[in-house]
Amino acid sequence: MTARIGVVTFPGSLDDGDAARAVRIAGGEPVRLWHGDAALHGVDAVVLPGGFSYGDYLRCGAIARFAPVMETIVDAARGGLPVLGICNGFQILCEAHLLPGALTRNQHLHFRNRDQLLRVEATGTAWTNTYQPGQEILIPVKNGEGCYVADTATLDRLEGEGQVVARYLGGNPNASQRDIAAITNSAGNVVGIMPHPEHAVEALTGPSLDGLGFFTSVLKHLVGAPA
């Protein structure tokens, strides 16, 4: 059966349609999930898309973490459900304490929108298993609050335990500590990434096809997961 990948829409979501399209191109079945509905409707994995959930009021992702659907997603993620948070979705994952640290205002105080080179470092996650360690990929970045920060002990733990998924190359667009662009939890089922892999899945519209691997990876992971 085709894997069903949920894509959540919050008020202010911007890239939920793009994420659903990326799932479809990868070979999965996208299932649209609504922020106010706690049910996950039998999906096998979830994508929290980019955008400006609830207008980014208070802090980016601070209100979205209390949405009914997030209560269910948090419980399911702790039970092993693969969850990918992209940009605003990464912020939501940190606010929900599924990932450590926080995303703060870009240190130069400017919005950055450009094609960004990354180095993939962790390939044992549910979302990166089709990449090679050290592989360089080119995908768009677009954020105003994309600066990843954490205390020194957390940064050391992430690096020491192989939980840094990707780092910026060729210039850090937001001054994220240790050039961190993406991280994972210790189990490898939850990944947060600030750049946008869903915008690099088609030659017509993206700078590359390099983002597609995030979506084919979760399909590969689900095929190998216990029934």
Maximal C-alpha separation, the chain: 48
Phi, psi of 128 (to 5 degrees): -135, 15
For the chain, the 3-state helix, strand and coil shares in percent, each to the nearest 5, are 30, 25, 45
Contact 33, 9 (CB under 8 A): yes
Neighbour-count burial of 209, counting CB atoms closer than 10 A to its CB (0-12 exposed, 13-18 middle, 19+ buried): middle
| Pairing status of strand 102-104 against strand 4-9 | unpaired
From the list 163, 173, 113, 168, the residue with the least C-alpha distance to 136 is: 168
| Residue numbers annotated as active site | 87, 196, 198
Q: How far is CA 19 from CA 16, 146, 180, in A?
A: 5, 19, 22
